[in-house]
């Protein structure tokens, strides 16, 4: 049985239209309507100092506190849809000891603060979202809460999961995650991981530094990348540091692998990169008269840091991640200047002025010659005139 060609073409066209409609309206969950998505990255780790509990209200460090909130490190990664993290502690935080399970007059929370738009003026001191695993004293159970914070300190609960069971007892870690789609799939964001205990009027907290996702890119380079310099002489190169636009890190410059015969001096070893992302400083390379005549490689380091930021309360300051980059500078030491070299250099420098004078003199010679010739002719004509006058005087004198 044969079908008319128009029916076959019509069916194919209908199928094509359906496919296009599905492609238009059914988007991947990790991609927003504007085509952007949260970045995915492999496992990363940040370490935290031991026994560094803080008084939340005063911003001062406590000398002692519960080990169940003493963060030692955090592992974290993302597939673009979820930010997953494991907060590690020195001992099981959820064991049956009194340090782990809160008593009736205390409350323990584990969570993350997220700045979803890199703007300290939104949310509360830049914090736009909170994901927290909370201990409920009334039910003796854990709850998982997702909150959105407004600039006027209002709080909107986006999600609350009671009797949260995805947390294991007798383990030295707490797992936590954030659904990035629920947080508007930020393309660039910051996060702090924390653990805290609230007991009466005492609020003890331990937290990490601000973590940038994705990490900002920083580079350091020299111009030129290699330099030849004679032993006993100096040379200068330019050291340039760059960062992604929008960041304004402070930079500490220093060098390593310096030999006895070579010294590197930065004119400014501390720089502040402006918002457009570039700063530079001269680097003077000084060599000793007896420096070894061979290639030499110096390593130049740049430590990029950000200023401390207020964290919810004015007295509580948070450090940001520091990132270090490096570059290599090749210095070739040539033999020192000899007496013959000095004489040759002197004549080379003197040769240019002499050549200049010669060219000027050659250019002026015709004019000088003409001027002298005219002067001589005038003098000759004047002399003949004077002789004629003298002759006439003599003739007149003899007649008289």
Reading the block at residue 341, the tokens are 């070299």
C-alpha to C-alpha distance for 3 and 265, rounded to whole angstroms: 86
Name which residue leads in pLDDT, 306 or 94: 306
What pLDDT does 182 receive? 95
Name which residue leads in pLDDT, 210 or 168: 210
What pLDDT does 17 receive? 55
C-alpha to C-alpha distance for 71 and 85, rounded to whole angstroms: 13
What pLDDT does 34 receive? 46
Of 233-247, 265-279, 341-355, the range with the lowest mean pLDDT is 341-355
Q: pLDDT > 90: what percent of the chain?
A: 41
Reading the block at residue 366, the tokens are 């015709």
Question: DSSP letters along 167-207, please?
Answer: --TT-SEEEEEEETTTTT--SSEEEEEEEEEEETTEEEEEE
CA 166 to chain centre: 38
Reading the block at residue 160, the tokens are 């609350």
Whether the CB-CB separation of 280 and 273 falls below 8 Å is answered with no
C-alpha to C-alpha distance for 277 and 49, rounded to whole angstroms: 31
**109 closest CA partner among 66, 150, 58, 157:** 66
pLDDT beyond 50 at 192: yes
**Looking at the domain 27-213, which fold is it?**
Immunoglobulin-like (2.60.40)
pLDDT beyond 80 at 28: no
pLDDT beyond 60 at 94: no
Instruction: Quickly list H helices, the chain.
Output: 5-25, 339-399
**180 closest CA partner among 27, 31, 320, 73:** 31
Name which residue leads in pLDDT, 329 or 257: 329
pLDDT beyond 60 at 230: yes
Query: Is 220-334 in the same CATH topology as 27-213?
Result: yes
Name which residue leads in pLDDT, 387 or 17: 387
Ordered by start, the domain boundaries in the chain are: 27-213, 220-334
**126 closest CA partner among 170, 169, 43, 186:** 186
Which uninterrupted H or E stretch holds 218? strand 218-223
Confidence bin at 335 (pLDDT 50/70/90): confident
pLDDT beyond 90 at 314: no
What pLDDT does 347 receive? 61
C-alpha to C-alpha distance for 195 and 112, rounded to whole angstroms: 9
pLDDT beyond 80 at 8: no
Confidence bin at 120 (pLDDT 50/70/90): confident
Confidence bin at 113 (pLDDT 50/70/90): very high
**What integer best gives the mean pLDDT of the chain?**
81
Note the pLDDT tens digit of each residue in 96-106.
443 355 556 67
- Highest-confidence segment of 263-267, 357-361, 382-386: 263-267
What pLDDT does 86 receive? 95
pLDDT beyond 90 at 61: no
Name which residue leads in pLDDT, 237 or 168: 237
User: The tokens 């205990």 sit on which residue?
Assistant: 197
- Highest-confidence segment of 54-68, 207-221, 334-348: 207-221
What pLDDT does 370 receive? 72
pLDDT beyond 50 at 299: yes
What pLDDT does 25 receive? 46
CATH 2.40.33.20 fits domain 220-334: no
Confidence bin at 76 (pLDDT 50/70/90): very high
Average pLDDT of 295-322?
Answer: 79
Beta carbons within 10 angstroms of residue 341's beta carbon: 12
Confidence bin at 176 (pLDDT 50/70/90): very high
Whether the CB-CB separation of 249 and 218 falls below 8 Å is answered with yes
Q: What is the pTM of this model?
A: 0.68
Confidence bin at 394 (pLDDT 50/70/90): low
């Amino acid at each position: 049985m044969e079908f008319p060609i128009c029916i076959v073409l019509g069916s194919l066209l209908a199928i094509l239209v359906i496919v296009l409609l599905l492609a238009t309206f059914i988007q991947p969950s990790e991609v927003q309507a504007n085509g952007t998505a949260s970045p995915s990255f492999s496992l990363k780790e940040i370490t935290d100092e031991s026994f560094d509990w803080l008084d939340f209200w005063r911003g001062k460090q406590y000398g002692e506190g519960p080990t169940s909130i003493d963060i030692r490190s955090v592992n974290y990664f993302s597939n673009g849809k979820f930010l997953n993290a494991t907060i590690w502690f020195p001992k099981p935080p959820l064991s049956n000891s009194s340090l782990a399970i809160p008593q009736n007059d205390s409350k323990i929370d584990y969570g993350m603060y997220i700045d979803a738009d890199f703007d300290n003026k939104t949310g509360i001191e830049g914090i736009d979202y909170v994901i927290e695993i909370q201990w409920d004293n009334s039910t003796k159970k854990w709850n998982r809460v997702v909150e959105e914070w407004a600039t006027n300190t209002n709080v909107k609960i986006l999600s609350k999961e009671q009797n949260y069971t995805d947390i294991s007892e007798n383990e030295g870690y707490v797992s936590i995650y954030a659904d990035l789609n629920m947080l508007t799939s930020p393309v660039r964001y910051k996060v702090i991981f924390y653990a805290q205990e609230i007991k009466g009027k005492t609020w003890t907290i331990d937290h990490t530094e601000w973590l940038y996702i994705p990490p900002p890119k920083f580079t350091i380079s020299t111009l030129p990348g290699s330099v030849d310099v004679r032993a006993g002489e100096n040379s200068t190169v330019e050291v340039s540091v760059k960062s992604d636009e929008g960041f304004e890190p402070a930079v500490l410059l220093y060098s390593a692998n310096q030999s006895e015969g070579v010294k590197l001096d930065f004119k400014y070893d501390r720089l502040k990169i402006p918002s457009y992302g570039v700063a530079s400083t001269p680097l003077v390379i000084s060599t000793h008269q007896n420096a070894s005549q061979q290639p030499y490689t110096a390593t130049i380091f740049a430590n990029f840091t950000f200023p401390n930021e207020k964290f919810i309360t004015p007295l509580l300051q948070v450090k940001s991640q520091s990132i270090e980059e490096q570059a290599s500078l090749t210095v070739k030491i040539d033999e020192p200047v000899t007496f013959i070299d000095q004489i040759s250099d002197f004549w080379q420098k003197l040769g240019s002025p002499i050549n200049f004078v010669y060219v000027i003199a050659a250019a002026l010679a015709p004019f000088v010659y003409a001027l002298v010739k005219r002067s001589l002719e005038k003098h000759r004509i004047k002399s003949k005139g004077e002789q004629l006058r003298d002759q006439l005087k003599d003739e007149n004198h003899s007649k008289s």
